[in-house]
Chains A and B, each alone.
Chain A
Amino acid sequence: MHFDLNQLSLALPEILLLSMACVVLIADLFVTERSRGATYILAQITLVAVFLMVLATAIDKPQLAFSHTFIRDGLGDLLKLFVLGIGFMVFLYSKDYLKSRDVCFGEFHVLALFGILGMMILISANNLLTIYLGLELLSLCLYAMVALQRDSILASESAIKYFILGAIASGMLLYGMSMIYGMTGSLDLTVINQNVVQHKTDMVLIFGLVFVMVGVAFKLGAVPFHMWVPDVYQGSPTAVTLFLGTAPKIAAFAMLMRLLVYGLMGLYAEWRDILIVLAVASMAIGNIVAISQTNIKRMLAYSTISHVGFLILGVLSGTAAGFASAMFYTLTYAVMALGAFGMIILLSRFGYEAEHIDSFKGLNQRSSWFAFVMLVLMFSLAGVPPFIGFWAKLNVLMALVSVNLTWLAIVAVVFSIIGAFYYLRIIKLMYFDTAQDSQSLECHTGMRVAMSLNGLAILLLGFKPDLLLALCLQVVPG
């Protein structure tokens, strides 16, 4: 194997993250109960350092490393920056939650760091095996994180469910990869992309594609592979749901892009149709089932499913603008989901989990500012202008209209109308009902500031939506 020190520099952020995660792991053994904060600070420093490292080592042109198994490009860098940023916010939001609830504090941070490492590897994968490696590293951390609250029956159940279903999906993915390998003779996505065209009509390759897509759809949580999403979201401690519902979506999007666009673009006509079915089913099931949920985490889980349907729409348009719109959608969705789950943590306190939607009742009377932030989040998720969620939807619709899939755009907007209902219900609870819970909100200043910034970002980005979109357009493959 050809080895060059230069190539190491491309993976420096990952290497730094791995070393620091090990340091945090060991350091956590020695910190006492009283100085738990040290682990937190160390983990945050790690994320900031890796973030800066990604920025510092960013390069203009895509470069391959380690026998073409690893790719460093603009797409990867932008996604990584978001994953790290969101990781930082997740730690910030969940600090007090974890401290007060005796959920293994150190383990949460270590597992999350390793999970982020898995995501970064997945984002930078240029080889089927690298994809699998990253995916498994991420998934194993997530399984363990879901089970962190080991005395909770609900958490254990959802962890087992997640693990078993996840293992099956990984199996499917591997099986599909083996078929693709068999037909194209390579694990390298670039080579696969060159060879795939000549085997286009081959049944085995199509089977391989289908199995691979099952794996991807499972990770994204697209219907009909969505069964785990509501249970896992509901069963996990909210801090874990917060992590699970945000950053891994970005990684799953990267996986979708790497596999289908970088690897199997030659089969566009085939995977487009599969994606149409997945997207429409996800939007339908996600939006309709969310209406009947009374647990806010479960409701947001179904909402995630519907948003996944929307982002798939962007990818299936098959144009650079479409990929950019899907990427923009994923990133903005992650920021919105971060705010929404963060709000649940904000409303919870020791001995009281704000999981029922009724916990939002009369929030406007308790704190009109945070009610407003949640209002922004909900309208943004529903896709109402001027918030950023509207522009995300608009871009996707535009991509569809540009490739003459106007009918699909109409289907998408119809489901958005249905979806608007359950977001409106949260606003109704906050503004139109009287509070059951008159206690003031308990949270540290950092969380208040971060939550406010989160809401303001969604509002202000809506006035200049092309800031992020231009970046997305720059980095997607044309």
Chain B
Amino acid sequence: MLDNYLLSLLIWLPIVGGMLVLATGGDKNSSEARVLALVISLVILILSVLLYHKFTLGTAQMQFVEHHAWFKLGSLQAFYYLGVDGISLPLIMLTAFITVIVVIAGWEVIQYKTAQYMAAFLFMEGLMIGVFCALDAALFYVFWEAMLIPMFIVIGMWGGARRVYATIKFFLYTFFGSVFMLVALLYLAFHIGSFDILQMHAAKIGMTAQLWIFIAFLLAFAVKVPMWPVHTWLPDAHVEAPTGGSVVLAAIMLKLGAYGFLRFSLPITPDASHTLAGLMILLSLIAVVYIGFVALVQQDMKKLIAYSSISHMGFVTLGFFIIWSIAANQGNYTGAVMGIEGAIVQMVSHGFISGAMFLCVGVMYDRMHSRMIKDYGGVVNTMPSFAAFAVLFAMANAGLPGTSGFVGEFMVILSSFKANFWFAFLAATTLILGAGYTLWMVKRVIFGAVANDNVAKLTDINRREFFFLGLLAIMVLAFGLYPAPLLNVMDASVSNLVEHVIHSKLIPGG
């Protein structure tokens, strides 16, 4: 019964809930707004756990499908078509989880227009889950673009000093990429006579068209991931965004780009992806290595984590595009499947770790109003429990075995060995670089003698902060020690995807 509209609930409950939160009115009622937002986000989390519980493992079929006629555009029928598979399910759960964290993290910190802040995150949650569920290209695009609106408002209203510059840059950059995807989707829809994404997967498309479509998709997804060289909006957006905004941006929005590659680029244009795989691998490795070096020299903690995110997302795209080389070298798909699975594990794990790191910076920023590394030093002396969390997350970011950061990176590096030694070699430098920039930051901020009076006056984290950092720490350790549930969920879908992608869909002779 519930199965037939569980996904709709996951999408629309936060949106309707966001409206209710807005209806609580001005800042007089901000405590009502907070409680309401927390209740709604918890309900969504419970529903997403229910989704996982009811999810059937071992099949690549779309589940919880909802398929209703939506509207007719000329000769084309668009559908309200939702469904999840093993690739989207972990991301939906991640979204639901992170939103709860963000609501709690903004509890006392946000005093200005609290209702609007909470509502913006609930709207975003619904729209992002919508992106992960949509199986109709028109519907997908609506969610994909509409999501920019609340984020634009969040960065612009509650952000730092250069927030207006950062948020307009963020909006225009992503809008720029997306509109080309729109044209490509229209072209596709017109040629196969449907907006259905699964039909687009099956459609036979000629090589030239595939290349153009791939490039259009690339513009949209590369900006979102972000890949070098279209990453420059991310450090600005991260630095200026309020903590909650940074968390959602790093933990979920970046994954949307990667998800786009899996749902659109690879299956719709496999031959173009194959042809351009070398370029994509090159861009990914530049992101991993070069951006890693850039992170090393950052003075601003948020900027450092932002660059670290770009570098880690380079791993994800690397994992996606090495599958042909592996398949060619090995003659079977198992290595390729591991590459993509590693990339998805990396996506989920990076969601927890980057979110946690931004929250750590947020915790310090709320006390000191500075993000500069040089203003800190010896925080461990005044905030011991905080320091424990910060060091754990830093280790996870550096890929310490036992944390979730290790699993994804290890899987991707392992499978890239099967593709090419040098890919693996370059990718593995991130283990050194990542450890370098993260631990160096930890050393300068957390350890050492108390640097100045401000640090001496710091108070340790309160129970609310302990709670959300603790939750994230549990997730990071849980997936680091026992990633099997995550892998089991995605296994069938990823195998199916790889099998689909590796077979050329060129029309014979065409």
Residues on A lying within 8 angstroms of B by beta carbon are 321, 324, 364, 368, 375, 379, 384-386, 390, 394-395, 397-399, 401-402, 406, 409-410, 413-414, 416-417, 420-421, 424-425, 427-428, 431-432, 464-466, 469-470, 473
Q: Which residues of B contact A464 (CB under 8 A)?
A: 71
A409-B183, A432-B156, A432-B157 are contacts. A395–B73 as well, Cβ < 8 Å?
yes
Would you call B71 and A465 a contact (CB within 8 A)? yes
Would you call B186 and A421 a contact (CB within 8 A)? no
Q: Which residues of A contact B172 (CB under 8 A)?
A: 417, 420-421, 424
B163 at the interface (CB under 8 A from A): yes
Would you call A466 and B72 a contact (CB within 8 A)? yes
Would you call B182 and A413 a contact (CB within 8 A)? yes
Shortest distance in angstroms between B79's beta carbon and chain A's nearest beta carbon?
A: 12
Would you call B149 and A384 a contact (CB within 8 A)? yes
Q: Which residues of B contact A394 (CB under 8 A)?
A: 73, 138, 182, 186
Q: Which residues of B contact A410 (CB under 8 A)?
A: 180, 183
Would you call A384 and B183 a contact (CB within 8 A)? no
Would you call B71 and A466 a contact (CB within 8 A)? yes
- Which of B22, B72, B76 is the one whose CB lies under 8 Å from A470? B72
- List which B135-172 residues lie within 8 A (CB) of chain A: 138, 141-142, 145-146, 148-149, 152-153, 156-157, 163-164, 167-168, 171-172
- Which of A375, A416, A466 is the one whose CB lies under 8 Å from B73? A466
Would you call A420 and B71 a contact (CB within 8 A)? no
Would you call B168 and A431 a contact (CB within 8 A)? no
- Which of B113, B145, B152, B186 is the one whose CB lies under 8 Å from A397? B186
Q: Determine which residue in A399, A424, A470 has the highest number of CB atoms from chain B within 10 A of its CB, and name it.
A: A424
Q: Determine which residue in A394, A409, A464 has the highest number of CB atoms from chain B within 10 A of its CB, and name it.
A: A394
Question: 13 interchain pairs (CB within 8 A)?
Answer: A321-B75, A368-B116, A384-B175, A390-B145, A397-B183, A401-B183, A421-B168, A425-B168, A428-B156, A428-B168, A431-B153, A432-B156, A432-B164
A402-B74, A417-B172 are contacts. A379–B186 as well, Cβ < 8 Å?
no
B176 at the interface (CB under 8 A from A): yes
Shortest distance in angstroms between B367's beta carbon and chain A's nearest beta carbon?
A: 25
Q: Which residues of B contact A421 (CB under 8 A)?
A: 168, 172
Q: How far is the CA of A466 from the CA of B70 in the complex (A)?
A: 9
Beyond A324-B74, A424-B172, 7 additional contacts (C-beta under 8 Å) are: A368-B26, A385-B141, A401-B186, A410-B183, A413-B180, A427-B152, A466-B71
Shortest distance in angstroms between B236's beta carbon and chain A's nearest beta carbon?
A: 15
Would you call B171 and A424 a contact (CB within 8 A)? yes
Would you call A385 and B142 a contact (CB within 8 A)? yes
Shortest distance in angstroms between B23's beta carbon and chain A's nearest beta carbon?
A: 11
B6 at the interface (CB under 8 A from A): no
Q: Which residues of A contact B76 (CB under 8 A)?
A: 398
Q: Which residues of A contact B492 (CB under 8 A)?
A: none
Q: Which residues of B contact A465 (CB under 8 A)?
A: 71, 73
Shortest distance in angstroms between B114's beta carbon and chain A's nearest beta carbon?
A: 12
Q: How far is the CA of A410 from the CA of B75 in the complex (A)?
A: 22
B383 at the interface (CB under 8 A from A): no
Shortest distance in angstroms between B344's beta carbon and chain A's nearest beta carbon?
A: 27
Counting residue pairs across A and B whose Cβ atoms lie within 8 Å, the total is 98
The chain A residue with its CB closest to the CB of B148 is A384
- List which B157-212 residues lie within 8 A (CB) of chain A: 157, 163-164, 167-168, 171-172, 175-176, 179-180, 182-183, 186-187, 190
Would you call B156 and A431 a contact (CB within 8 A)? yes
The chain A residue with its CB closest to the CB of B181 is A413
- Which of B71, B74, B175 is the one whose CB lies under 8 Å from A417? B175
Q: How far is the CA of A368 from the CA of B156 in the complex (A)?
A: 15
Would you call B180 and A409 a contact (CB within 8 A)? no
A421-B172, A432-B164 are contacts. A398–B72 as well, Cβ < 8 Å?
no
The chain B residue with its CB closest to the CB of A365 is B113
Shortest distance in angstroms between B188's beta carbon and chain A's nearest beta carbon?
A: 10
- Which of A364, A375, A413 is the one whose CB lies under 8 Å from B183? A413
A398-B190, A401-B187, A413-B179 are contacts. A420–B74 as well, Cβ < 8 Å?
no
Shortest distance in angstroms between A145's beta carbon and chain B's nearest beta carbon?
A: 36
The chain A residue with its CB closest to the CB of B144 is A385
- Which of B153, B164, B175, B187 is the one whose CB lies under 8 Å from A420? B175
Q: Which residues of A contact B157 (CB under 8 A)?
A: 364, 431-432
Please give me the 8 A-B residue pairs with the lowest Cβ-Cβ distance, nearest first. A466-B71, A413-B179, A385-B142, A321-B74, A432-B156, A385-B145, A401-B186, A386-B142
Shortest distance in angstroms between A397's beta carbon and chain B's nearest beta carbon?
A: 6
Encode B107-139 as 1/0 by CB contact (under 8 A) with A.
000000100100000000000000000000010
Q: Which residues of B contact A324 (CB under 8 A)?
A: 74
- Which of A364, A424, A473 is the one whose CB lies under 8 Å from B168? A424
Encode B55-83 as 1/0 by CB contact (under 8 A) with A.
00000000000000001111110000000
Would you call B156 and A398 a contact (CB within 8 A)? no
Shortest distance in angstroms between A431's beta carbon and chain B's nearest beta carbon?
A: 5
Would you call A406 and B187 a contact (CB within 8 A)? yes
The chain B residue with its CB closest to the CB of A409 is B183
Would you call B183 and A424 a contact (CB within 8 A)? no
Q: Determine which residue in B73, B146, B157, B176 has the highest number of CB atoms from chain A within 10 A of its CB, and name it.
A: B73
